[in-house]
Amino acid sequence: MDFFTHEILTPTLARIKDVTGVYAYLAVGTERAALVDAGTGIGDLAAYVRGLTAKPLALLVTHGHMDHAGGASRFGEAFLAEEDRALAAEHGTRAMIEGYARAVLRGAADGIGDADYPPAAPVAWKPWRHGDVLDLGGVSVEAVRVPGHTQGMTCALFREDRMLLYGDACNPFVFLFGEESSTVAEYRTSLVALRAYGDRYDRALMSHGAELFDADLLESCLAVCDDILAGRTDDVPFPFMGRLNPIAKAVTTEGGWFRRADGGLGNIVYDRARIR
């Protein structure tokens, strides 16, 4: 089984796709490199990255869910918002990672061997705080905190490339239904704050899906928040890993399941009990 593929986005930025379809981003400067997110940990991402660069590497983890922090144990140490450390421990178990793989890959997950799952090893977590800048030598990555999907959710601004990794913070199917998530009203406040970065990036990167967006996606997600708060939603049942919550705007399978039927960009899967 091929666990990873990659593509070059700019001379200093590559996008790596793991076997479950989640993306990590590798920024390389003249002195060192930074990998943003560790994927599920299925397959040896650390070894794969070493095949792309021999420079000293820092791992930055956007949030604590298993599909982004699950592979951190293969690196030994990583930067993560302190608010998400307990979540990363909960989601970093073999049971959680295998459950995710089976939900995404279904029968193909049978081809993953025991040795392909990440080791149950401790991670030396270092704080990754809003505004922190990691200088890689002519390339820098800045932390932009956007609580909502999780309380520690952090976007990565690749400053010289003028690209902002929205990741799970803002996308065409924001998950806002876990106990670790904010209310819709709180999430809206985070998106308003994110507007302040609008003059610092031209393209927004995703953690799920290869499409590039711009700030129109942010504005669309804000509009969906407003519609949820005002009760103007379609509320189509959306099943995921044994949970059933409404997705605010109806979707179509034409061109991909997560495409809105009305042609809009953003969408939110939320918990009706956690709106305000």
Domain coverage including residue 152: 4-274
Do 123 and 68 meet the contact criterion of CB atoms below 8 Å apart?
no
Label the pairing between strands 77-80 and 33-36. Answer: unpaired
What's the domain count of the chain? 1
Here the CATH number for the domain that contains residue 235 is: 3.60.15.10
pLDDT in tens, 97-131: 999 999 999 999 999 999 999 999 999 999 999 99
What average pLDDT values come out for the chain (276 residues) when binned by 10 residues? 95 98 98 98 98 98 98 97 98 96 95 95 96 98 98 98 98 96 98 98 96 97 98 94 93 78 96 96
| Positive or negative torsion for Cα 171, 177, 178, 182 | positive
- Cα–Cα distances in Å, from 119 out to 74, 88, 94, 105, 256? 7, 14, 9, 21, 34
Task: Give percent helix, percent strand, percent coil of the chain, each to the nearest 5.
Answer: 30, 30, 40
What is d(CA 247, CA 158) in angstroms, rounded to the nearest whole number? 31
Cβ–Cβ < 8 Å for 176, 151: no
Tell me the pLDDT tens digit for each residue of 15-43. 999 999 999 999 999 999 999 999 999 99
| DSSP H helical ranges for the chain | 45-50, 66-69, 85-91, 94-105, 184-194, 215-230
What is the average pLDDT score of the chain?
96
pTM comes to 0.96
Residue 1 pLDDT? 77
Q: What is the pLDDT of residue 256?
A: 59
Q: Which element (helix H / strand E) includes 2?
A: none
Q: Which residues contact 251 (CB under 8 A, 6 or more apart)?
A: 236, 257, 258, 259, 260, 261, 267
pLDDT of res. 242: 85
Tokens 């610092």 label which residue? 200
From residue 249, give the alpha-carbon distance in Å to each of 227, 266, 268. 9, 9, 8
Of 83, 224, 220, the closest CA to residue 147 belongs to 83
